[in-house]
Amino acid sequence: MNQVMFSVGEVKKMIEEGRKLILAGDEALLRSLPEGHWIGGTIPYFMAEKGGVLSNDKIYVTEIPGYIKKMVFKTYQEGSVSSIYTDAPERGFTVVIIPASSATHLSFALKAPTYDGFATSPLIGWISGVHVDNIGKVKPLVFFGEKGKVMDDEAVAIHASLPEEKYADIDIINIFSQGDGDVITFPNDGFSATDALINGKKTNFAEYVEANGLDTRLPLVADYSGAMINISFQSVDAAAKSVNFYAPVFKDVEYRHAAPVSDYIREFTGMLPGAGTDTIFFSCNCILNYLYSELEGKKTGSVTGPITFGEVAYQLLNQTMVYLTIGDL
């Protein structure tokens, strides 16, 4: 459907009709919805029909296609999220929503690549968030509509089985690439760092960022056999001499500061699938792309979706757009 943003009344009607939905919106709006076959997460930012928008009175709706007959709705905690891949259908995909800064978020971010069955089935999703002015003041939430549950420390997922004639595929759009600067490695995994090895030399990383005038709107980028994976800067604490990230850095992985991007929209649309976007079932884009590239009112092609505090494409990503397509065999 072309329309993606709906009023509470319209979404209530969809739920009452028994439709299966993935929802994103303001906390008050999601709390007002009845029980039903839906999951959701809090966020007020969206890529909508007319471009980037901040909305507190509409809900973004992704509807599960009617040809998907078998679905399992499930919640996960810090100690159980490691089974998300082994719970996945043999043929299909999983959509997950995790509240930002929860123990489940941190565990998934750090450990997903070690989970049994990692990347053997398409897993896509997002990290729920809040208005940026409310970070640290209001907790991001996820909603489990079938049980009427509202959670700030658990993930919620839909495992969807596809018919034999269909297949699901995940793609990542990352407009960032490694710059030609120093090679940066870290001695430990984590969402923060004090020391780093700069071209092999131990250095306080906060001091390095300041001394070199790094633009922290640009992420660190690792090259995983041609796949560029971003680590976004959250803050630089000069007093504590530490740097905080929105996704974890990993020990001994070689990072470089990203090369600058002059035109986000041009770069982004140039990476969209050439055959069109009509097969895209679900997509989300990063809040940092929205803020730093000033996407409010700007369209990223015809791709829509929630603007998130982190993207899930098999594992946690930052400053990317991810999408899942459903195609015919």
The verdict on residue 178 lying in a domain is: no
Residues 89 and 228 in one domain: no
- 125-151: burial string, b at 16+ Cβ within 10 Å, e else: bbbbbbeeeeeeeebbbbbbbeeeeeb
**Structural domains counted in the chain:** 2
The verdict on residue 105 lying in a domain is: yes
Residues 26 and 70 in one domain: yes
The verdict on residue 106 lying in a domain is: yes
Residues 21 and 156 in one domain: yes
- 177-203: burial string, b at 16+ Cβ within 10 Å, e else: ebeeebebbbeeebbbbbbbbbeeeee
Residues 108 and 231 in one domain: no
Residues 141 and 26 in one domain: yes
Residues 151 and 91 in one domain: yes
The verdict on residue 273 lying in a domain is: yes
Residues 16 and 69 in one domain: yes
Tell me how far apart the terminal alpha carbons of the chain are, to the nearest angstrom.
22
Backbone dihedral angles phi then psi of residue 274, each to the nearest 5 degrees: -65, -25
Residue 190's pLDDT is what?
A: 94
Residues 23 and 95 in one domain: yes
Residues 44 and 95 in one domain: yes
What is the Cα–Cα distance from 251 to 187, expressed in whole angstroms?
5
The verdict on residue 224 lying in a domain is: yes
Across the 329 residues of the chain, what is the mean pLDDT of every consecutive 10-residue run? 88 97 98 98 95 96 94 97 96 97 96 95 97 95 97 98 95 94 97 97 98 96 92 95 95 96 82 71 94 86 91 96 93
The verdict on residue 44 lying in a domain is: yes
Residues 290 and 220 in one domain: no
Residues 19 and 55 in one domain: yes
The verdict on residue 56 lying in a domain is: yes
Which of 222, 257, 292 represents a domain boundary (last residue)?
A: 257
Residues 132 and 17 in one domain: yes
Which of 257, 273, 307 represents a domain boundary (last residue)?
A: 257
Which of 257, 277, 297 represents a domain boundary (last residue)?
A: 257
The verdict on residue 225 lying in a domain is: yes
**27 is in which domain, residue-wise?**
5-173+265-328
| 235 bridge partner residues | 244
Which tokens sit at 237?
């604490």
Q: Is the pTM of this model over 0.75?
A: yes
